[in-house]
Structure 1
Amino acid sequence: MAKYSVPKMSCGHCTASIEDKVLDADEGAEIQFDLETRTVVIESVLDEAGELAAIKEAGFEASAV
């Protein structure tokens, strides 16, 4: 399980975009979003680089926290 800061994530459309890309890469991933703190927690078979790549593919920069 990893937690990422996604500073520009601000709405449901943002979270849906990220969720779609992460699930494209790992259908079994579990994803939790916190818009207030602009963080996402991902439990996945992907490594950190894979998770960050999926978030970037959704159009967002992220960093591990």
Structure 2
Amino acid sequence: MIEFTVPDMTCGHCAGRIRSAVAEVDAKATVDIDIAGKRVRIESAKDEALFREALDDADYPPD
């Protein structure tokens, strides 16, 4: 399980963009988003760095 804190995530639109960014890396990944807690959990065999880069590219850099 990969877990990120994403401070700039504030709403459902943000969560949708984050889901899309994750899907670009791994369309089969399971994504759990907690908007209030600003947490994104990803279940995938892909490398964490790929997801970190995708979130950065989507303008939602994780801490």
User: Percent identity at matched positions?
Assistant: 35
Q: Scaled by the length of structure 2, what TM-score is found?
A: 0.91
Match of 1:55 in 2: 55
Query: How far apart in 2 are the matches of 1:54 and 1:46?
Result: 12
Give TM-score, length-normalised by structure 1: 0.89
Distance in 2 of aligned mates of 1:24 and 1:47: 13
Which consecutive residues of structure 1, in runs of 5 or more, have no partner in the other structure? none
The CA RMSD over aligned residues, in Å, is: 0.9
> Which contiguous aligned blocks of 4+ residues in structure 1 show a shift greater than 4 angstroms?
none
Render the CA deviation track for 1:9-46: whole Å, top value 9, x for unaligned.
00011010011011011110110000111010011122
Counterpart amino acid of residue 10 in structure 1: T
1:44 aligns with 2:44: yes
How far apart, CA to CA, are the structure 2 residues paired with 1:21 and 1:10? Answer: 16
Q: 2:18 matched to 1:12?
A: no
